[in-house]
Structure 1
Amino acid sequence: MTPIRPATAGDAAKLVALGAIWGSAFMCIEVALQSFGPLAIAAFRVVLAAALLLGFAFAAGLRLPHAPRDWSLLTLVGLFGAGLPFLLISWGQQHIEAGMAAILMGLGPFAALLLNHVFTSDDRLTWQKLAGVMLGFAGMAMLVGLEGLLGGRTTLIGQLAVLAASFCYSLSALLTRKLSHLDSRVSAGAVLLTAGLYLVPAALLLDPPWRVVPSGEALAALLFLGVVSSGVAYLLRFQLIKDTGAIYMSQVSYLVPVFGVFWAWLFLGELPSEAAWVALALVLLGINVSRLSRRRSQPAA
């Protein structure tokens, strides 16, 4: 794997941009669902984003990898890092609001902590990390429990779908570092290409786009999801993981729920409930607490 380096101010700017972009995806999915089904949304996202990134890569003289091991990893990352989460989030948002979906995605860092403890030897659970995990899950339990009971069975299922998507992203991050020897445009584009192999045949069979007469708003939201929330965002994600590591990139989880709630309020008029505000506070507090031991163990720059 390519060695990582200390994060720079440019990396911090990329991290904030990634948080803002990913936070906007929930709002765009809610708008796109007015005309398109969740399977069509997920398939369109990966196709447009893959074409964009691979087009840039080929124009720069880059080529797709040849090693079977690389394609095995790309296929797995495509499944857990794009195909499944895109579909789960779009499907889940049929039953919950954009702001709630963004908060639920804040589970990602806690899932990453548990996965790293099981599958790595250099990022084990500590008491601080365990306390952070407990705070984060308390926030999720408050949000899912109260909102799920009030909203009924379909609301609860939608919430669980988004939580499963967050877990998929965390699982894919464990594999993405193994692709750091590839150019970010190639790896991100190839991952989205493999995700399309799962999603496009299913969408053509079960949710054919020619049956839809989309509104202008839904079509614009879908284009934004493909170009910006998928194409640009995945390029930033892979660059950050390659340059600074998955742990630094995971800090975007501070930003995604905040931006998600903000965009949903600004453009959709969605006001979070009291339970949502408490859940958001517990999630952000839990992420900070879980990182205390890591901060203390890092040498001063």
Structure 2
Amino acid sequence: MEQQSIFQRPLWVSLFALTAAIAWGWAYPLIKLGFAEFMITADMTAGKMLFAGIRFGLSGLIILAIARLTRRDFSVKAAGSWWYIALFCMMNTTLHYAFFYIGLSHSQGSRAAILNSMSVFSVVILACIFFKSDKMTWQKLMGVGIGFVGILCLNLGNADSGRFTWLGDGMIILNALCGATASLLTRGLGKRVDVFVGTGYSLAVGGALLIVPALLWGGTLPRTTLLGMLYLLLLIAISTLGFTLYNKLLTCNPVGKVAIYNSLIPIVGAVTSCLCLHEPFYWKYAIAGLLATAGIYIIASPANGKRR
């Protein structure tokens, strides 16, 4: 009997997925703290892209260096696969985080963290459309419905507690859709290139595609401090660890089995943003977070997996 990979063993799947989810949750306050330390203001779009590009570009180079040192296979397995890898780079990094960094600078970190859970619900819908193996069930439909109700709850209350804005919420929604598309593309990435190497390509090339236009548009980091560099290093570590673990898990397990742990991201992101950024925590955030988490759990619960 073939020995099961460590990335398929339940205990390790849980540990790796939890690690990635918690790390990504911490990215919300760290990005905003980085913006403040580098003096990147809300209107400095090119500066945000440069900051993001440096983060992901360096993370990708670190992954590729590790891949080379561990003698990973860099060859592309199928002819004509470079277009697929290029598309994955654009969706997983360039567009994904261009939208994310712009949106986060125009929104509270706690609000953005909850709104970004839309990516999980979008994955469920898109997977049912594009993959015959993913069938829509009443349980999935109920989970998606509850999750979207939670997201809509973000717009309850008066204007002081936060309202929808195109530069804030609109960009975060586009980021979530790019993330959902990238999650689906990850299924085919392992058929074309080693997943570890593919993740490195995605971050390195995707980061470069953020840096080049940022520099052409005059993007700069107005101030450099040791604290700012520490925030940037922590974000690089989060990208390196999170994407490596998550992409590998997606190629070895059903999407639902891994996605259930993403329910922690909005909670960790909202709580850490309030604690680190001293943002006000409104009651609707708690309701939205709980509903989004409940929706993700219902979608990915074992009972639903048995129906697939």
TM-score by length of 1: 0.88
> Which residue of 106, 113, 117 corresponds with 1:106?
117
Which residue in the other structure is 2:54 paired with?
A: 44
Which residue in the other structure is 1:266 paired with?
A: 275
Q: Write the deviation string for residues 163-210 of structure 1: whole angstroms up to 9, x where unpaired.
A: 21111111111111112243332111011123134212111112433x
CA distance in structure 1 between the aligned counterparts of 2:113 and 2:183, rounded to whole angstroms: 19
> Which residue of 219, 234, 244 corresponds with 1:208?
219
> Which residue of 42, 57, 69 corresponds with 2:80?
69
Which residue in the other structure is 2:44 paired with?
A: none
Unaligned stretches of 5+ residues in structure 1? none
Equivalenced residue count is 293
Which residue in the other structure is 1:140 paired with?
A: 151
Q: Write the deviation string for residues 230-274 of structure 1: whole angstroms up to 9, x where unpaired.
A: 111111112211222433222232111111123223322334211
CA distance in structure 2 between the aligned counterparts of 1:296 and 1:62, rounded to whole angstroms: 35
For 1:18-33, list aligned pairs within 5 A.
18-33=20-35
Do the aligned residues in 1 keep the contact of 2:156 with 2:284 (CA within 8 Å)?
A: no
CA distance in structure 2 between the aligned counterparts of 1:120 and 1:278, rounded to whole angstroms: 32
Q: Does 1:236 align with 2:245?
A: yes
Which residue in the other structure is 2:171 paired with?
A: 161
Do the aligned residues in 2 keep the contact of 1:48 with 1:231 (CA within 8 Å)?
A: no
CA distance in structure 1 between the aligned counterparts of 2:293 and 2:254, rounded to whole angstroms: 21
CA distance in structure 1 between the aligned counterparts of 2:124 and 2:98, rounded to whole angstroms: 24
CA distance in structure 2 between the aligned counterparts of 1:110 and 1:263, rounded to whole angstroms: 23
Question: Which of 119-128 and 64-73 deviates more?
Answer: 64-73
Do the aligned residues in 2 keep the contact of 1:106 with 1:257 (CA within 8 Å)?
A: yes
Compute the displacement of 1:109 (Å): 1.6
The residue type paired with residue 13 of structure 2 is D
Do the aligned residues in 2 keep the contact of 1:77 with 1:172 (CA within 8 Å)?
A: yes
CA distance in structure 1 between the aligned counterparts of 2:150 and 2:276, rounded to whole angstroms: 25
Do the aligned residues in 1 keep the contact of 2:273 with 2:279 (CA within 8 Å)?
A: yes
The residue type paired with residue 118 of structure 2 is L
Compute the displacement of 1:217 (Å): 2.8
CA distance in structure 2 between the aligned counterparts of 1:73 and 1:147, rounded to whole angstroms: 45
Compute the displacement of 1:63 (Å): 4.6
CA distance in structure 2 between the aligned counterparts of 1:108 and 1:214, rounded to whole angstroms: 33
Which residue in the other structure is 2:295 paired with?
A: 286
Question: Which of 24-33 and 66-75 deviates more?
Answer: 66-75
CA distance in structure 1 between the aligned counterparts of 2:249 and 2:263, rounded to whole angstroms: 15
The residue type paired with residue 178 of structure 2 is C
CA distance in structure 2 between the aligned counterparts of 1:252 and 1:73, rounded to whole angstroms: 27
CA distance in structure 2 between the aligned counterparts of 1:239 and 1:180, rounded to whole angstroms: 9
Which residue in the other structure is 2:260 paired with?
A: 251
Distance 1:144 1:168, change over 3 A: farther
Which residue in the other structure is 2:232 paired with?
A: 222
Which residue in the other structure is 1:185 paired with?
A: 196
Which residue in the other structure is 2:186 paired with?
A: 176
Distance 1:286 1:148, change over 3 A: farther
Do the aligned residues in 2 keep the contact of 1:80 with 1:168 (CA within 8 Å)?
A: yes
Which residue in the other structure is 2:69 paired with?
A: 59
Question: Which of 98-107 and 13-22 deviates more?
Answer: 98-107
CA distance in structure 2 between the aligned counterparts of 1:252 and 1:74, rounded to whole angstroms: 26
CA distance in structure 2 between the aligned counterparts of 1:58 and 1:40, rounded to whole angstroms: 26
CA distance in structure 2 between the aligned counterparts of 1:216 and 1:111, rounded to whole angstroms: 39
Aligned-residue CA RMSD (Å)? 2.4
Which residue in the other structure is 2:132 paired with?
A: 121
CA distance in structure 1 between the aligned counterparts of 2:21 and 2:142, rounded to whole angstroms: 24
Compute the displacement of 1:64 (Å): 2.7
TM-score by length of 2: 0.86
Do the aligned residues in 1 keep the contact of 2:85 with 2:198 (CA within 8 Å)?
A: yes
